[in-house]
A and B are shown apart, each in its own frame.
Chain A
Amino acid sequence: MIPLSLLIMSLLLSCGGAILCLLLKHREGDIRLGGSGVGIAAALAGLGAGLTAIGAGQPAVLDAAGPYPFAHFVLRLDPLAGLMIAVISLLSLVAWIYGFAYVREYAGRGVGAMGFFMNAFIVSMMLVVAADNGFWFLIFFEMMSLASYFLVIFDQDDEAVGAGFLYFLVAHGGSVLIMAAFFLMANQAGSFDFAAFRAHPLPAPLDSVAFLLAFIGFGAKAGMIPLHIWLPRAHPAAPSHASALMSGVMIKIGVFGIVKVGIDLLGASAGPAMLGWGLLALAFGAVSSVLGVVYALAEHDIKKLLAYHSVENIGIILLGVGTGMIGMALHQPVLAVLGLMAGLYHLLNHAVFKGLLFLGAGSTIFRTHTKDMEEMGGLARNMPWTALSFLVGALAISAIPPLNGFVSEWYTYQALFAAALDGTPLVKFAAPIAAVMLALTGALAVMCFVKAYGIMFAGAPRSHHAEEAREAPAAMVAGMAVLAVACVALGLLAPLVAPVMGRIAAATIGTAPVTLAVGATLLPGDAQQATLSTPLIAILLIAMAFLPIGLKAVFAAKRGGDRKVAAPWAAGYLPDQHMSASAGGFAQPIRMFFAPLYTMRQAIAGRWTGIAHGFERVVTLARRTEPLADRSVIAPIAGAVDASGKWLQIIQAGDFRIYCLYIVAALIALLALAV
Chain B
Amino acid sequence: MITLPTEPLGLLALAAILVPFGGAAAIAASERASAKWLCQGFAAATVAVIAILAMSLLGDGKVGGTFELISFGSVSILGLVVDSVSVLIALAVISIGLLVAIYSAAYLNAGNREHPDIGRRRFYAFLLVFIGAMTGLVFSSTVVGQLAFFELTGACSWALIGYYESPKALRSAAKALLVTHVASLGLYVAAALLFLSTGTFSLTAIADLSPGMKATVLLAILVAAWGKSAQLPFHMWLPDAMEAPTPVSAYLHAASMVKVGVYIFARGLMSAGGAPEIVGWVGSIMAVLTLVYGFFMYLPQVDLKRLLAYSTITQLAYILLALSLSVFGSDLAFKGAIAHIFNHAFAKTLFFLVAGALSYTAGTRLLPSLRGIVTKSPLLGVAFVCAALAITGVPPFNGFFSKFAIFAGGFEVGAHHWALMLLVVIALAESVGSFAWFLKWLGHSVPGKPSTTMAAAAPLPAGMKFVLVALVAMTVVSSSIAASWLG
Contacts and interface: CB of A to CB of B under 8 A. Distances in A.
A168 B439 contact: yes
A546 to B, nearest CB: 58
B432 A176 contact: yes
Which size class do B's interface residues fall under? 35 or more
A183 B480 contact: no
Question: Which of the listed residues A161, A173, A619 has the most CB atoms from chain B within 10 Å of its own CB?
Answer: A161
B484 A67 contact: yes
B400 A142 contact: yes
Contacts of A180: 411, 428
Given A146-B389, A169-B435, A187-B415, A626 B405 contact: no
A626 B487 CA distance: 41
B65 interface: no
Given A67-B484, A69-B483, A169-B439, A183 B299 contact: no
A404 to B, nearest CB: 36
Contact of A161 (B432, B447, B484): B447
Chain B binding surface SS class: helix
Interface string B364-405: 000000000001000000000000010000111000110011
Given A67-B484, A183-B411, A138 B404 contact: yes
Given A161-B448, A176-B431, A67 B483 contact: yes
B332 A619 contact: no
Contacts of B389: 146
A161 B436 contact: no
Interface in A182-212: 183-184, 186-187, 192
Contacts of B443: 153, 161-162, 164-165
A138 B393 CA distance: 12
Nearest to A68: B483
A157 interface: yes
Interface string B281-308: 0000000000000001101100000000
Interface in B421-452: 428, 431-432, 435-436, 439-440, 443-444, 447-449
A577 interface: no
Contacts of A67: 480, 483-484
A146 B239 CA distance: 31
A187 B407 contact: no
A620 B405 CA distance: 35
Contacts of A70: 332, 405, 408
Interface stretch (A236-244, A479-487, A600-608, A629-637): A629-637
A527 interface: no
Contacts of A184: 411
B412 interface: yes
A419 B134 CA distance: 69
A474 interface: no
B236 interface: yes
Interface in A43-70: 67-70
Q: Could you say which of B239, B443, B483, B484 has the most chain A C-beta atoms within 10 Å of its C-beta? A: B443
A139 B412 contact: no
Contacts of A629: 233, 235-236
A470 interface: no
Q: Say which size band chain A's interface belongs to.
A: 35 or more
A653 interface: no
Nearest to B396: A143
A623 B300 contact: yes
A68 B439 CA distance: 28
B175 interface: yes
Interface in A145-159: 146, 153, 156-158
A511 interface: no
Contact of B408 (A142, A169, A186, A622): A186
A67 B395 CA distance: 15
Nearest to B405: A70
A142 B395 contact: yes
Interface in B441-487: 443-444, 447-449, 480, 483-484, 487
Given A165-B443, A622-B297, A139 B411 contact: no
Contacts of A156: 375, 447-449
A373 to B, nearest CB: 28
A524 to B, nearest CB: 43
Contacts of A172: 394, 432, 435
A12 interface: no
A625 interface: yes
A139 B404 CA distance: 10
Nearest to B295: A622
Given A165-B443, A173-B432, A625 B296 contact: yes
Nearest to A162: B443
A630 B236 contact: yes
Contacts of A165: 439-440, 443
Contacts of A142: 394-395, 400
A157 B411 contact: no
A440 interface: no
A135 B415 contact: no
Contact of A179 (B179, B236, B332, B404): B404
Contact of B412 (A135, A187, A620, A623): A187
Contacts of A192: 408
Contacts of A618: 296, 299
Nearest to A156: B447
A179 B435 CA distance: 16
A626 B297 CA distance: 7
Which of A142, A157, A184, A186 is the most central at the interface, judged by chain B CB atoms within 10 Å of its CB?
A142
Contacts of A173: 432
Nearest to B372: A156
Contacts of B436: 169
B275 to A, nearest CB: 22
B407 A179 contact: yes
Contacts of B299: 618-619, 622-623
Contacts of B435: 169, 172
B322 to A, nearest CB: 14
Contacts of B440: 165
Nearest to B443: A161
Contacts of A143: 395-396
A629 B239 CA distance: 12
Contact of B236 (A619, A620, A633): A633
A173 B392 CA distance: 12
B301 to A, nearest CB: 9
A186 B435 CA distance: 25
Contacts of B483: 67-69
A630 B483 CA distance: 40
B175 A634 contact: yes
Nearest to A155: B447
Contacts of A623: 299-300
A209 to B, nearest CB: 12
Contacts of B444: 161
A213 to B, nearest CB: 11
Nearest to B480: A67
A22 to B, nearest CB: 11
Contacts of A176: 428, 431-432
A625 to B, nearest CB: 7
B13 to A, nearest CB: 26
B394 A622 contact: no
B334 to A, nearest CB: 12
A156 B447 CA distance: 6
Given A139-B400, A172-B435, A619-B299, 12 more contacts: A67-B483, A67-B484, A68-B483, A69-B487, A139-B396, A153-B447, A165-B440, A165-B443, A176-B431, A187-B411, A620-B300, A622-B300
5 contacts: A138-B395, A165-B439, A169-B432, A186-B408, A622-B300
Which 10 A-B pairs have CB atoms at the shortest separation, nearest pair first?
Answer: A623-B300, A183-B411, A156-B447, A67-B480, A629-B236, A139-B395, A161-B443, A67-B484, A619-B299, A622-B296
Interface of B: 175, 179, 233, 235-236, 239, 296-297, 299-300, 332, 375, 389, 394-396, 400-401, 404-405, 407-408, 411-412, 415, 428, 431-432, 435-436, 439-440, 443-444, 447-449, 480, 483-484, 487
